[in-house]
Amino acid sequence: MSIKRTYTEINSKIKSGQAVVVTAEELIGMVKDKGIAATAEQVDVVTTGTFGPMCSSGAFINLGHSKPRMKIQKAWLNKVPAYGGIAAADVFLGATELPEDDPLNNSYPGEFRYGGGHVIEDMVAGKTIKYKAVAYGTDCYPLKEIETEITLQEINEAILMNPRNAYQNYNCAVNLSDRTVYTYMGMLKPGLGNAHYSTAGQLSPLLKDPDFRTIGIGTRIFLGGGIGYVIWNGTQHFPEHITDKDGKYLGSAGGTLSVLGDLKQMSPKWLKGSSFLGYGASLTVGIGIPIPVLDEDILRFAAASDEELYAPVVDYGDAYPNRKPGNLGYVSYAELKSGKISLNGKEIPTASMSSYKKAREIASILKGWILKGDFLLSQPAQLLPNTTSGIVGKALK
């Protein structure tokens, strides 16, 4: 490998305004023009982005102490329950939580108009939130009931803490059955009526550093419009290399992130409550990760294009819900983004559940932050586990 860079060198260039920063999309064109070696010599940082529903998200909120003090046992924010089983004035609000009077799927398919993710969006938008809590009362925390209003700025802290975000790769969902199914991948028509995919492909953060050579604990990121950090691998982080039936390498999959940031710095533009017909409520999250070009190999992976990145096609009519192994083959992100794929001799319209347009915007914003000298790259304390870790998923018996 010809070039080697360190975080110190790159950050020094960022501070002095000398760093060369490109988005992952821009990088693809550069490598085509000049090749990997010349591009690696020139580019210091590659930025990535993704904006999609990330169900495993939520916020730790410190409401401050009431007078008399209260040990919150159960709490509701805009009628959405928040978990009070931590310390006295802290609660955790999950993105997929629903009001107790939500009709769910009793009128199938349920609309799930409002949930925890929508509360988070409303908080970040500066809206007044109705807050109610109950407690069992103790000598030092005697108050048993409270009902009031809060805004994000008035409370002490709100920390966005998402245990599983930014899936490295994800299924392309189809439906082989003869009835419509409503899923977290949207509405899937019967008999292969449509195909929905989720990942941002050539802009997807974890597909651009697929073996986690730069992403790890402490990596500084764009999160929800503000600055955040990778704090651990996400739950269900099962890194693997995917291969087709002939053993050809098709890329990586299975990685996830656990991320955290200050909700007060974030924006409702990048944190949107979402509703999935027949499935539930969620939070659509914007994440962007910078990849330092420490060597040529890192740049080679960061330059992978949609034509080189693949997603497995999975049946959500039967195989997925019943945890049956296997898939229906692989399609490239270039095919998916074209608007149609061929499967079982049939041409199927495709659509994305994440926004490529917004992913591009995030990568550009992050590029701008770095170019301005405002955003320094942080060297991870420990890299995320990759395929050599041997981590595999365990099933609940």
Give the interface segment with another protein, choosing from 87-95, 99-107, 156-164, 190-198 (CB under 8 A): 190-198
339 binds another protein (CB under 8 A): yes
Among 298, 314, 353, 370, binds another protein (CB under 8 A): 353
Number of residues in contact with another protein under rule CB under 8 A? 33
β-sheet bridge partners, residue 173: 196, 314
Does the footprint of another protein cover residue 131 (CB under 8 A)?
A: no
Nearer to another protein, 52 or 254 (CB): 52
Please pick, from the candidates 53, 239, 254, 288, the single residue that binds another protein as defined by CB under 8 A: 53
Q: Is 272 in the site for another protein (CB under 8 A)?
A: yes
Residue closer to another protein by CB (options 53, 380) is 53
User: What positions carry a catalytic annotation?
Assistant: 140
Contact pick of 11, 354, 378, 386 for another protein (by CB under 8 A) = 354
Question: Considering only residues 350, 370, 375, 378, which one is a binding residue for another protein as defined by CB under 8 A?
Answer: 350
How far is it, in rounded angstroms, from Cα 120 to Cα 371?
30
What is the closest distance, in whole angstroms, from the C-beta atom of residue 238 to another protein in the complex? 26
Q: Is residue 187 involved in binding another protein (CB under 8 A)?
A: yes
Q: Does 332 bind another protein (CB under 8 A)?
A: no
Figure out which of the listed residues 96, 204, 352, 386 binds another protein, where binding follows CB under 8 A: 352
- CA-nearest of 349, 342, 310 to 187 is 349
Binding residues for another protein (CB under 8 A): 51-53, 111, 113, 186-187, 189, 194-196, 272-277, 282, 284, 337-339, 349-358, 360
